[in-house]
Chain A
Amino acid sequence: ILRFSYLYFTAVTGKGNENELDKEDKGDIFDINAEFADTDLIDGDVIPPTSRNTLVDEGRHWPSTRIPVVMGSNLGLEAIAVILEARQEYEMRTCLTFPDRTDEKDYIEYQSLSGCYSSVGMVGGPQTISIGPGCEKMAVAEHETMHAIGIYHEQSRTDRDHYVRIALENVDEGKEHNFNSYPYSVVDDRRVRYDYDSVMHYGDTSFSSNGQPTIVTLDPAFQDVIGQRRTFSEGDVTKINRMYKCGDTLRYSYNCNYEDETVCGYVQDFTDSGDWVRHIVGASPSVPVTGVLPTTDGSSYMLLDTSAATSSMYSMKYKSTVAQQCLEVSYYMDLQTGSTASLELAIATIDPVNGDVLSVGSPVTTLSGDHEGLWMTERVTISAPSEYKLAIIGNGRNKPHNIAGDVIAIDDVSVLDKPCEMTYFVVNDYSQILATSARGDYFYSPLMYTDDGYGFQVKIYPVGSSNSKDGYMAMYYYVAQGVNDDSLQWPMYNRYIKFSIVDQGPDALTRMTQANSILSSSSGGSWDKPTSLYTHHAHCQCQTRNSGYGFSSFMSVSDIQNTRHFLKHDQLMV
């Protein structure tokens, strides 16, 4: 993870637009489908049923939570990528899985047709989900797949008129049939309250003739909430799991904030010299620590006895159903000059019968050095076996130093049953950046590398460029000169590149990260080997870059500042 401090990147801040190209934004599902006037779709993206079966009728539920799928040959790389991501999210949050079809009679075929649409429920035989051009977003694939398993739009609920008003005066003439609501004999809300945050809710200008809202929330607080396309809401997950009787998720996740006195089952190594103890902010610590203790956004964290040489703690037995997991840990290291104290996370191999730790592997990450009284977050993809324990090892007073005053703490440790993103970078003091930036101001990330060695940078306009919608931040990907350039293939085509502003909420599983993606191809951006063409920037630190490709309106600044946990410890994570 690359980190930025505000002072560091003021040196690379610039003004005005550089050479960058926006990915064409075809809008949300209904905007894309509206281009195809001759469709028979109802509700914007629903293939109407041939007979009026109801979903309350179990006949249109899939009989199993394993639903076979085929990837149509006309799907592009980006569509395939988002469908696979959507499958992964279903496995993370529900017990539904979508294996490749062998010879099953009933199955889903994803195809790239004219727009984004699906039938509702199982039709019998092959049935199509279209992820057409412009529909290549994970949340759209989740949405269309939710139709296919039997769920209508949130604004089609029987009781929707109590929560939203359909402003027919603003609806495009002839499009009124896209705002159907259905009786309880057709839809069942599964006892979930009206969910403004559902990925199945349309946005407020769907099918608008004049740009004015077509869906008006009766409580204005939800006007900007409806239409989110990040991922499942908690209500979506509850609804799916009640419908398909999921007792547990397919992929396993663990999350510990150390708020609970049982500390999620973490146990001390009884054989070493020191302990980790749960520390409640404001209480006096029960281990000898002399430095200033940090506060946190929760009320407690684990504090290391830095007077001891080594203190280990182990998780309970963890399980995984996949090959790679994303380990995330928040840590605080305020060390005295010259201290060699450090923190290691490792995978412990266990006896499958009694769970005893047989061996502790080499660290998957080692954290050392002074971090100046800041909480930091480390994320690393690990390859844990199907059963293991996580070892968190504090090395307090390393020989030959004997330094008092070191403070080491950890918080918010999570393991998600999927790999981490490839790279993260963190921008500190983000409120200050927002407060001092004007439209057109930008900064670049440090040079980062893809797994196969291509150098790149990300450019951010914190309050937007001249091309941005009002109130939106802009973000672009730049191929940049790297150390491997001579041995790589050029142009760098056919790469699926996903940008995210990470929701850093305490429960890693229920986060709603804002993401969007681009595909490197001849039709957007420049993917040739970066030469000296664009070196003439005063603040480029002599880094050679191509022109950028991305989004002039990536995310609303107000969403970053005011919703969920896009800012944590005043850090933005990209």
Chain B
Amino acid sequence: EDIFEINQKFGQQGLTDGDIRPRSLTRNSIIDKTYFWPSTTIPVQYGNRLGYKAIAGIDDARQEYEMRTCFSFPDRTDEEDYLLYEPLNGCWSSVGKQGGTQLVSIGAGCEWMSTIQHEMMHAIGIYHEQSRTDRDGYIYIDTDNIDPDLVYNFDKYSYEVVDNRRVAYDYNSIMHYGDTSFSTNGGKTIITRDPAFQDVIGQRRTFSEGDVTMINRMYPCSDPLRKSYTCNFEEEAICGYVQDTTDQLDWFKFNVGVSDPKNFNSFVPLVDNTHGYMVFDTSSKVGSEIGNLVSMRLKSNSTKQCLEFGYYMDLVAGSQAGIAVYIGTIDQSNGDILSAQPVLSITGDHGAYWNTERRTIQAPAKYKLVITAKSVTDIYTDDVIAIDDVSILDKPCETSYYTIHDFSSLLASTTKGDAVYSPLMYTDEGYAFKIIVSLQHALTACAFFAVAQGVNDDNLPWPFYNQVVKIGVVDQGPDALTRMNQFFTLLTTSDGDPNFDKPTTMNAFNFFYTRATYEVNGGWGYNNFMTLSDIMNTRDFLKNDAIVISINV
């Protein structure tokens, strides 16, 4: 359920626009600087009654602000003005700074990261997108489908109250309501004048690019707090990566269809939406040799980072060639690499496919990344090693990833109720689980989390309760920072009993899913997780005909 649906259960509680707590009676505008926070560091406090899921959602939302803006929300010590998150009736906030203790309600059903991002955008001073002064040029409100007493929730505001900061009307904003908000009859209440955007409005994934621009213009910000790097090797300057001049071999930039300086043409891979990548040049090797590609000096404001790494390793049978990635500790003055610690190693044949590796690393505040390829004896001249789309986000990766290859053919051959089980994966604490995906009606994808038999089961406490499980379909777009993954979260509690017991015998009662076995408990998740149309047709959920499911526990 979206914000307005949750709040409606509690009556209006004096809220306006669905989730905005009005200020005093005087109609002050947010253009009035009184309602600006004086700093981008806003103290917050977590109310005692917040559940695990709300806390996890707030933590994630705080992290996203730091990834994309200059805002941080540190725990309050004794500051006078601060945000207090409480699980009250619904999801709501005031707009702008109120002074003193300022409530942000994250009630039952509001515990999603994106809902919390939305309420926090209100708290820093931003109204809904559909409240913009100029909204009537882009949408119209169908009052036939709205309770006349609730029509005031679709008020728009004058330019004296809101300032869109020169950002064009943003259908994709996290501040836009969906098209059936406040509907009395299921009919649409917000109609986009261009029908192409009817299914776009109301997204609850994360900030749109327009949201980020608006926040960063409102609270001047030119560099986010957490530092991210992404390189597609499209531009000639290859993001500042340089060859190590002390090793034997080099990497070279290959442009599909444009250049083939090393006469690699019979081997090198194609890529789908970009045309440049780096190929390990083995044309001059004479034996077992290596080639290092070294990044510019990178910075981090976080203790953990997520390294993502696209690679292609088509090796001759028996070849021991491989790729390794190192974190280089550097001299703080001249940047020279003093020592290097391996964080990732890929060996063996991976066929004629692009693959993606994601790995949480712990880099220091300043470091360099070293990407090493190793050749073996000159027997294996037909080995092809290439990399592309290397990114480092200043936050940890999800716990696990599950890639479903050949998605189109799976979709074509599936019938309702067919299920795909992931391989066995483990949480950081050692619990085993599988992800069950079903492509129901060929319209929506369903995803379920299922506890499974694992090697540590005898040493773990059971049941597997009070764990926040976040499952996502990964947007595999080339810019890792601006992706919009689709998520849901669930909390393992007795509500799902007995699915979280130690998976020993066939559970008598398989709660939501009927195909449990002796090895796998019944799954718990969402029947309508995501539309197949969104997966197939929007953003980059499908890349190289594969989808990636992320799981964070």
Does A354 have its Cβ within 8 Å of any Cβ on chain B? yes
Contact in complex: A248, B134 (CB < 8 Å): no
A158 to B220, CA, bound (A): 29
A189 to B368, CA, bound (A): 14
A218 to B332, CA, bound (A): 24
Does A246 have its Cβ within 8 Å of any Cβ on chain B? yes
Q: Which of A299-355 contact B (CB under 8 A)?
A: 314, 316-317, 319, 352-355
Contact in complex: B333, A183 (CB < 8 Å): yes
Count, chain B residues at interface, CB 8 A: 44
Contact in complex: A194, B158 (CB < 8 Å): no
Contact in complex: A159, B335 (CB < 8 Å): yes
Interface mask (A218-256 → B, CB under 8 Å = 1, otherwise 0): 110110000000000000001001101111100010100
Given contact pairs A245-B221, A353-B160, A194 touches B165 in the complex (Cβ within 8 A): no
Closest Cβ of chain A to B118, distance in Å, is: 21
Contact in complex: A264, B168 (CB < 8 Å): yes
A133 to B299, CA, bound (A): 42
Contact in complex: B159, A355 (CB < 8 Å): yes
Does A66 have its Cβ within 8 Å of any Cβ on chain B? no
A252 to B159, CA, bound (A): 18
Contact in complex: A247, B222 (CB < 8 Å): yes
Contacts of B332 in A (CB 8 A): 184-185
A319 to B223, CA, bound (A): 24
Contacts of A352 in B (CB 8 A): 159
Contact in complex: A193, B237 (CB < 8 Å): yes
A23 to B461, CA, bound (A): 85
Does B217 have its Cβ within 8 Å of any Cβ on chain A? yes
Given contact pairs A95-B220, A184-B333, A261-B196, A316 touches B158 in the complex (Cβ within 8 A): no
Contact in complex: B166, A159 (CB < 8 Å): no
Interface mask (A409-452 → B, CB under 8 Å = 1, otherwise 0): 00000000000000000000000000000000000000000000
Interface mask (A170-206 → B, CB under 8 Å = 1, otherwise 0): 0000000000000111000111011110000000000
Does A267 have its Cβ within 8 Å of any Cβ on chain B? yes
Contact in complex: A189, B297 (CB < 8 Å): yes
Contacts of B296 in A (CB 8 A): 159, 189, 193-194
The residue of chain B having its C-beta at the shortest distance from the C-beta of A247 within the complex is B220
Interface mask (A36-79 → B, CB under 8 Å = 1, otherwise 0): 00000000000000000000000000000000000000000000
Contact in complex: B134, A316 (CB < 8 Å): yes
Range of interface residues on chain A?
35 or more
The residue of chain A having its C-beta at the shortest distance from the C-beta of B296 within the complex is A193
Contact in complex: A241, B159 (CB < 8 Å): no
Contacts of A353 in B (CB 8 A): 158-160
Does A401 have its Cβ within 8 Å of any Cβ on chain B? no
Number of residue pairs A-B, CB distance < 8 angstroms: 110
Contact in complex: A221, B236 (CB < 8 Å): yes
Closest Cβ of chain B to A307, distance in Å, is: 21
Interface of A is mostly: loop
Does A162 have its Cβ within 8 Å of any Cβ on chain B? yes
A189 to B133, CA, bound (A): 41
The residue of chain B having its C-beta at the shortest distance from the C-beta of A246 within the complex is B222
A353 to B334, CA, bound (A): 56
Does A163 have its Cβ within 8 Å of any Cβ on chain B? yes
Does A262 have its Cβ within 8 Å of any Cβ on chain B? yes
Q: Which of A265-317 contact B (CB under 8 A)?
A: 265, 267, 314, 316-317
A159 to B193, CA, bound (A): 52
Contacts of B217 in A (CB 8 A): 247-248
Binding site for B on A (CB under 8 A): 95, 158-159, 162-163, 183-185, 189-191, 193-196, 218-219, 221-222, 238, 241-242, 244-248, 252, 254, 261-262, 264-265, 267, 314, 316-317, 319, 352-355, 387
- Other than A191-B299, A247-B217, A262-B169, give 10 A-B pairs with Cβ distance below 8 A: A158-B297, A159-B297, A194-B296, A247-B222, A254-B166, A261-B196, A267-B134, A355-B133, A355-B159, A387-B159
Binding site for A on B (CB under 8 A): 70, 133-134, 137-138, 158-160, 164-166, 168-171, 193-194, 196-197, 216-223, 227, 229, 236-237, 239-240, 242, 294, 296-299, 332-335, 366
- Would you list 13 pairs from A and B whose C-beta atoms are within 8 A, ordered by A residue? A184-B366, A193-B240, A194-B237, A245-B70, A247-B219, A248-B220, A261-B194, A261-B197, A265-B137, A267-B193, A352-B159, A353-B160, A354-B158
Pick the 6 closest A-B CB pairs, nearest first. Answer: A247-B220, A193-B240, A265-B168, A267-B137, A183-B333, A241-B222
